[in-house]
Structure 1
Amino acid sequence: MNPLVISSFEEFQQHEGAELGVSEYHQITQEQISKFADATLDHQWIHLDAERAKTESPFGNTIAHGYLTVSLLPYLWGQIISIRNLKMQVNYEIENLRFNQAVLVNSEVRLRAKLLTLKNLRGVAKAQIEVTLEIKDSPKPAYSGTITFLYHFNK
């Protein structure tokens, strides 16, 4: 899979209102969940204790942290689009993010992205992107929302 290559505001603007693409699937393992728990100090049993999750959780297994799935955005976004000729990119905002479905351990997820708007703010491109994290073989996505990046292109 080759990401869409963008090198200027004008190139990016041509995709306003269009779907930009879909990433490859990424499997979320228990090891990744456990490392995320350690990094964030969030050791809730629903993420880490497989035996307890089988008997007490409505999901029947451990689940990924919601914020772990959000933290995959840059990785999966990079598979969809390659923004070049940049001085800097800034993660600016997340709007209306709704967690729709728990992501069970060993599930595969992928990102679908659509460029909603692109604005020129005195030489800085403000891109609002509709994102949906799909779960393989699930009718409901893990989450959906709008993310905003600021792109400072070189002249």
Structure 2
Amino acid sequence: MVHDFWQMKRRTFLGSTAAGMGAAALGTLLNPHSAHAASESSGVVNPLHFPAKAKRVIFLVMAGGPSHLETFDYKPKLAELDGQPMPESFTAGQPIAQLQGRELKCLAPQHEFAKYGESGQQLSTVFPHIGSVADDLCVIRSLKTEQINHDPAHTFMN
């Protein structure tokens, strides 16, 4: 099949070459002999305050899954603000077109949280058996974004 590439539209060209460019980029990133891989830097900005022990990590991306506010990330302030209008400081300057004209109200977690393990990690009672391994979990609560909409925030995180 012969293609007349001079007549190909830009969108078609980019769509048909995206996978090839991605594979080439991945090959470069995975090449152990590349200049970046050979550098002495571990990529850590500041030295760790204790030696790393983890050998493996399971990174769960729950697109469409339960909210972190209902599972692993208890926010006492959110429970305190339940039913009240969302503070202006949260929404000022945010592109919330789909919510224009609506009164935005805070909603407390719909499930109870309890402290589990020696660490006292607060986890939702939705997953009662996860509490038995609470001290073996690493829950990262330090991510921050200026986005209040879920999709852009999810994209930035990954």
Q: TM-score, normalised by structure 2?
A: 0.24
Structure with bigger helix share is 2
Rg bigger for which structure?
Answer: 2
Structure with bigger strand share is 1
| Larger RCO of the pair (alpha carbons < 8 Å, separation 6+) | 1
